[in-house]
Amino acid sequence: MLMARIGIAVSNTPGKVNEATADTTILLMLSAMRRITEPLMAVRKGQWKGDTEIGRDPENKILGIVGIGGIGKAVARRAQAFGMRVQYSNRRQAPISVDGVESAKHVSLDELLRTSDVVSLHLPLDDASIHLISKSQFETMKEGVIIVNTARGKVIDEAALVEALRSGKVFAAGLDVFESEPAIHPALLESHKTVLLPHIATATKETREAMELLVLENLREGIVNNRLVTQVNSGEA
């Protein structure tokens, strides 16, 4: 990391974003399962239901969580309340305890993609995760799978997602992040199979205040004690 090499310590705000991002994930998941974009647009245009299609229920569906950090665990807890069966994959091979979630199952990424009814992405962006979900991954998924991404846009190959939506392989997608944001693939904008938000998962009063307070705490500790509370590199404060 460049900042570490030149002796600058870097901090972030881990944990403070978990609950709001998990809430947004569930919002997008349920909205995608009900293909909510078409009826929302139809009502505003005075067309009542428009071409609203029959949706999907979450109960007894398999939710596959890719990346079971703080946000992924918070999503798992929420999904259980809707009667979903939770499985997850993670970079660490050993299973991770998901507190408050009964019978969360640790599986490989391949098995998760092959068997999940809903795939929700919660992993950081790095060289290994760019286009982690692309054409070959979509091909292994169930027919009518639902995709949710509140992680980073480049984790999904958007062109491959568009193709999968058009073919029906993907029933619907709920996205808060995009490959080249603020630009969004035109086909995603045009599709009634997508639920799109402008990267606002953490945009709540309570979450932003908590993030700000942690930033101030890091600044204070850096100035007073030459350390950071949530340091992410090996630079010196």
What are the extents of the domains in the chain? 1-17+204-237, 18-196
Pair 119, 145: CB distance under 8 Å: yes
Topology (CATH) of 18-196:
Rossmann fold (3.40.50)
Whether 102 is a known active-site residue: answer no
Task: Please state the three-class secondary structure of 176-212 as a single string.
Answer: CCCCECCECCHHHHHCCCEEECCCCCCCCHHHHHHHH
Low-confidence ranges of the chain (pLDDT < 70): 1-5, 93-94, 234-237
Same fold, 1-17+204-237 and 18-196: yes
**Which among 85, 122, 152, 185 is annotated as catalytic?**
152
Domain 1-17+204-237: state its class.
Answer: alpha beta
Q: What are phi and psi of 116, to 5 degrees?
A: -85, 145
Q: Is 209 one of the catalytic residues?
A: no
pLDDT value for 96: 77
DSSP letter, residue 154: G
Query: Could you give the strand order of the β-sheet that contains 145-149, starting from the edge strand earlier in sequence?
Result: 105-106, 85-89, 62-66, 118-121, 145-149, 170-175, 194-196
Hey, what amino acid is at 151?
A
Tokens linked to 23: 């809430």
56, 114, 199, 208: the catalytic one is 199
Question: Residues 181, 208, 217, 221: which is the catalytic one?
Answer: 181
Instruction: Give the pLDDT of residue 38.
Output: 96
152 is catalytic: yes
pLDDT at 237: 43
* Interior/surface letters 143-157, b for 16+ CB within 10 angstroms, e for the rest: eebbbbbbbbbbbbb
